[in-house]
Amino acid sequence: MSDLRLTQLTQWLSAHFKQPVDCLPLSGDAGFRRYFRVKVNGQSYIAVDAPSDKCNNQSFAELTRFFAEQQFDVPKIYQYAEEQGFFLLTDLGSLMFSDAISDVDDTKTLTYYKRAIDIAIELSATASPTNFSLPDYDAAFIYTELEIFREWLLGKHLAIGLDIKQADKLQACFDFLVQAISEQPKVVMHRDFHSRNLMVTENSLAIIDYQDAVYGPLSYDLVSLLRDCYVKLPTAQLNILFDYYLKRLTEKPEFKNINYQQLKYWFDLTGIQRHLKACGIFARLHHRDNKSNYLADIPQTLDYIVEVASQYDNLSFLVELVQNRVIPALITMKNQEVQL
């Protein structure tokens, strides 16, 4: 089966380098982008196929320049074909943060995470760009994300219906989450600051996949990192890192008055919203985009929701819904697949 876009990408690269090139496919992400490693004259590059009608390419280009100016380690854009949706980038290597922490002791793991936390705090302390605007992660934005859970996980994937009273109770849970998120200081927010979007380089941690950055709640990037859908930290390590974040954060004058209870409240409820959205997105990737491997990440993500939401009376209906209907429905579905 021919791959027209790969052929076009290869031709574009060959024209740039003035010689034939081969594109070695790399593992992709949850979006529509595809990545390839290209080696020319002993130098390695990353080529990206990012269809312009499906990917936020202009934002990626603008944010790459902006973050580089702020001294963050991001890939350099050597070439960008805007109309075609092709990029030629720095090769940051193959060691993702998620892989690096899987093969080291606890001390080294904490060192990696503390470095990532330092980066998250510097992002939060960065002034918004002046030559373009980040989208505002406002209440309407948050509600839209929460509906992904209702539409794709409850409805499309599990066929779980809610009567009017139940729907109102779920909406009340959503309202509670939105209120907690909306009251936080707004900062430059990566929006996917997790273990698969950080690369371990020779001297640093590099940030990738930041094209969907927004101006949003302070705790969001922290919860993306410490309550990662793909890597579950032991509670003891999470607590150490949370305390480290708070200590480093309050060294910044603009955040000096934030206390433990306040940050923990924001962290917990922002995390629940993120995980509800993530569960919906994982289901959507399966049904809409034929990317079924993300279904395996739903159970751990639901466990986060139950574990944290159980601490808040306002979220009792959400806990009941996930424990008594969502998780059993997933188990039933899994058993039926095994029998087939």
> What DSSP line would sit under 148-199, residue for residue?
HIIIIIIIIIT-----HHHHHHHHHHHHHHHHHHHTSPEEEE-S--STTSEE
Based on the fold, state whether residues 220 and 85 are members of the same structural domain.
no
Whether residues 85 and 103 share a domain: the answer is no
Total of domains in the chain: 2
Tokens standing for residue 19:
């010689």
Q: How far apart are CA 297 and CA 72, in angstroms?
A: 29
From 55, 70, 90, the end of a domain falls on 90
Shared domain for 164 and 27, answered yes or no, is no
Contacts (Cβ under 8 Å, ≥6 apart) of 112? 97, 100, 101, 104, 200, 205
Token pair of 193, please? 């600051």
Closest CA to 16 of 76, 71, 89: 89
Q: How many helices (H) and strands (E) does the chain have?
A: 12, 9
Q: How far is CA 174 from the centre of its chain?
A: 20
Q: What is the pLDDT along the chain (340 residues), one digit of tens a residue?
A: 468 999 999 999 999 999 999 999 987 666 788 999 999 999 999 999 999 988 999 999 999 999 999 999 999 999 999 999 999 999 999 999 999 998 778 899 999 999 999 999 999 999 999 888 999 999 999 999 999 999 999 999 999 999 999 999 999 999 999 999 999 999 999 999 999 999 999 878 999 999 999 999 999 999 999 999 999 999 999 999 999 999 999 999 999 999 999 999 999 999 999 999 999 999 999 999 999 999 999 999 999 999 999 999 999 999 999 999 999 999 999 888 776 5
Give residue 252's identity as a one-letter amino acid code: K
> Are 216 and 334 in the same domain?
yes
Q: Domain residues for 28?
A: 4-90
Distance between CA atoms of 186 and 241, rounded to whole angstroms?
22
pTM above 0.85, yes or no: yes
Residue finishing a domain among 90, 115, 146: 90
Q: Do 86 and 101 share a domain, yes or no?
A: no
d(CA 166, CA 300): 24
